[in-house]
Amino acid sequence: MDIDIEELSAILREAAIAEVLPRFRRLGDRDVRKKSEAIDLVTEADEAAERMITAQLNRRWPEARVIGEEAASADPAILEGLAEMELAIIVDPIDGTANYAAGIPMFGVMASVVRRGEIIGGIIYDPMGDDWMVAEKGAGAWLVRSDGSRERQRAAPAVPMSQMVGLASAFYLPQEHRAHVLKNLAQVRMSTILRNAAHSYRTFAGGHFHYLMFYSLMPWDHAVGALISTEAGGHVARLDGDEYSVARRDGGILVASNKQSWDELREKIFNF
């Protein structure tokens, strides 16, 4: 991979230390704005961190197209042709902005590296824990701590559906499917929501969740998570059975411990 994953991690960490952490629990009313709805927020910290990360990435890897969430939200045309770009770096300056704005210490800074539509590397940095989960295609998923130590990440072993613990983010589901899915989730041991993809994917790859389901697939939320979950040994696919792709933002994604668990969850819970 042409992008050095350790250098990319350092850029995300530097931006979090400079722009995200100093504003945590210190945002004023004018520092938080609603985008599409009450749970879809942007803060001064999101924008400042994205500017810093984008500037550093452009200097370090000018051959790569940098796609930031806030830039793309302002100009959706930035996403056009993503699957055909020779090299792109997709950035989420704060994933879990609603948590961040509420003072809840569960948010992350994420980046994924995409070559001609294929996700080849990615990072989920946790500013509060000061560690990051990284993956490069074919090299496994790893938790890297600030002292340099590394720990291989592995998805949880499969269990019967009645014992599964996981996450289903149902609030973007079409209204006609939401009640059906929420009712079906009574068949698993526990279903929760963390209000951010960063820690959801980290928890799955660390072996603490058996499944994840998300609907509405913006690439800054799911590209890195799909890679990390796959490299941790999980089975990842769109709800329609197709392979996850950064080019498709419709529909949903389902992640499970293995293919058998994925099939069972799709058949018995997410069967709409």
Q: What is the pLDDT of residue 29?
A: 86
**Confidence label for 37 from pLDDT (cuts 50, 70 and 90):** low
| Number of independent structural domains in the chain | 2
CATH number reported for the structural domain that contains residue 254 in this entry: 3.40.190.80
Give the domain extent around 232.
161-268
Q: Is the pLDDT of residue 15 over 80?
A: yes
User: What's the average model confidence in pLDDT over 21-36?
Assistant: 90
Q: Which of 101, 110, 115 is nearest to 40 (CA)?
A: 101
Statement to judge: residues 165 and 148 lie in one domain: no
* Helix 219-231 with 197-205: angle, nearest 10 deg: 0
Residues 102 and 188 in one domain: no
From 127, 153, 179, give the residue that closes a domain.
153
CB atoms within 10 A of CB 165: 16
Same domain assignment for residues 86 and 146: yes
Judge contact between 162 and 189, C-beta under 8 A.
Answer: yes
225 lies in the same domain as 179: yes
Residue range 139-158, pLDDT digits in tens: 999 999 999 999 999 999 99
* For range 129-134, the mean pLDDT: 98
Segment 202-207 mean pLDDT: 98
pLDDT score, position 44: 96
- Give the pLDDT score at 41: 84
Measured CA angle at 259 (ends 133, 120), to 5 deg: 35
Distance CA 170, CA 217 (A): 13
For residues 54 and 109, what is the distance between their CA atoms, to the nearest angstrom?
Answer: 13
Q: Are residues 33 and 139 in the same domain?
A: yes
For the CA atoms of 82, 88, 89, 92, the dihedral, rounded to the nearest 10 degrees, stands at -10
